[in-house]
Amino acid sequence: MILYSVPGSCSFASHVALEMAGADYEVRLAPREQGRTAEDFFEINPKGRVPALVTPDGLLTETPAILCYISQTYSQAKLAPMSNPWLFAQVQSFSAYLCATVHVAHAHGHRGYRWADQEASFQDMTRKVPQTMGACFRLIEKEMLQGPWVLGEDFSVCDIYLLAIARWLEADKVDTTSLSKVLDHRARMLRLPDVQKVLAEEQDLALSG
Amino acid sequence: MILYSVPGSCSFASHVALEMAGADYEVRLAPREQGRTAEDFFEINPKGRVPALVTPDGLLTETPAILCYISQTYSQAKLAPMSNPWLFAQVQSFSAYLCATVHVAHAHGHRGYRWADQEASFQDMTRKVPQTMGACFRLIEKEMLQGPWVLGEDFSVCDIYLLAIARWLEADKVDTTSLSKVLDHRARMLRLPDVQKVLAEEQDLALSG
């Protein structure tokens, strides 16, 4: 499989999941131009976004779908409790919150042009990011992150996806004083050998671009 | 199960899925104040959003998760191809696109306060909705809706979720001239008896509020 990625982006989650699953994969840098996706990447992925995973069956996009696909295809890695409808629904719910609310809040910091046209609107959106991302992460801290892992005792793709987005907290100027569980989770995740390997690969990828 | 819903919102998808699954459920109106969720609803759902499904196991939120949970719990209704990792990944990918990109584009029409603070920014965002929603639906028309159903020959929760969001096209002032497959899909969906029953229940719910 081939994963198209941008270092520092949410494609990090798919990269870590592939590594933890023991998949046979290659990571390629999605072509960029002036901080946006280059036009020729749209020929690979009509959405023009990462992550984009080329599988034997075809192209797969969207982080929640890629994480689910890797979990189901490499079931021996036990990355998602798919046989338990309630627990699996928790995975889907957490992923949906991260992609549709948290990632979207973050994206308003630098991608305001997706939803508005005026420079003043972009600045207004950027100013609000510490507040919106802060509210999201306080909800995660209080209501979602059961500990030690997101779902409780069992590690899952939720932990991988949370790490990918929790890496943005400082850049998004979020006040982390009330986020002790999130910060502890992130620190534990960053110590995992598979995560460290992917971080190194991401660094190589960034330097190759 | 109890589904908290707002007529006309995306909770319509969960409502239709419960009906098609033959589930034993009740629909309740989420309390509203001045077009926003009332404070006391946050005691039921800390996110303060619909859909929110009260299940025997606990509260479940986020449309992709609720659709997946209903599909898996009422597997005889065949609403998602969960045993086929590739097809199931397509369901997840489609749901993620609808919740994180299409619904988010729509929400900028009237919920700009989620991501900005200035009235001028809200107006800027509202003006862009026909363009962003149009681009999303052209991508759905061209790349995703295989026909006759989203996944091809087999009906799935993708069709239900698409209907919920395609109901917003006119209100969002989208130019639908190049969306013949989407409009045909919507018309066929609206003729299904289960959908008609839910539309009537939604109408009753709106009048009761």
Which is the CATH superfamily of the domain at B2-77+195-208? Answer: Glutaredoxin (3.40.30.10)
Do B128 and A108 make contact, defined as CB atoms within 8 angstroms?
A: no
B66/A contact by beta carbon, under 8 A: yes
User: In the predicted model, is pLDDT for residue B7 greater than 90?
Assistant: yes
Query: CB atoms < 10 A from the CB of A105, how many?
Result: 24
A-facing residues of B in 136-175 (CB < 8 A) are 139, 142-143
Boundaries of every domain in chain A: 2-77+195-208, 85-192
Q: What is the pLDDT of residues A70-98, one digit of tens each?
A: 999 999 999 999 999 999 999 999 999 99
Cα separation of A182 and A46, whole Å? 34
Q: What is the pLDDT of residues B128-140, one digit of tens each?
A: 999 999 999 999 9
CB A141 within 8 A of CB A121: no
pLDDT band at A99 (very low <50, low <70, confident <90, very high): very high
**What is the ipTM, given to two decimal places?**
0.97
**Residue count of chain A:** 209
Q: What is the pLDDT of residues A33-73, one digit of tens each?
A: 877 788 899 999 999 999 999 999 999 999 999 999 999 99
| CB < 8 Å to B93, chain A | 60-62, 64-65
User: In the predicted model, is pLDDT for residue B188 greater than 80?
Assistant: yes
Give the mean model confidence (pLDDT) for residues B23-47.
Answer: 90
- Closest CA of chain A from B84, distance in Å: 9
Q: What is the pLDDT of residues B135-186, one digit of tens each?
A: 999 999 999 999 999 999 999 999 999 999 999 999 999 999 999 999 999 9
Do B104 and A99 make contact, defined as CB atoms within 8 angstroms?
A: no
CB B116 within 8 A of CB A124: yes
* Domain at A85-192: CATH architecture: Up-down Bundle (1.20)
- Closest CA of chain A from B142, distance in Å: 10
pLDDT band at A209 (very low <50, low <70, confident <90, very high): confident
pTM of the model: 0.97
Query: Helix A11-21 vs helix A157-166: angle between axes, to the nearest 10 degrees?
Result: 140
- Closest CA of chain A from B21, distance in Å: 15
| DSSP secondary structure of A161-200 | HHHHHHTTTTTTT---TT-HHHHHHHHHHHTSHHHHHHHH
Query: CB atoms < 10 A from the CB of B40, how many?
Result: 9
Give the SS3 label for residue A38: coil
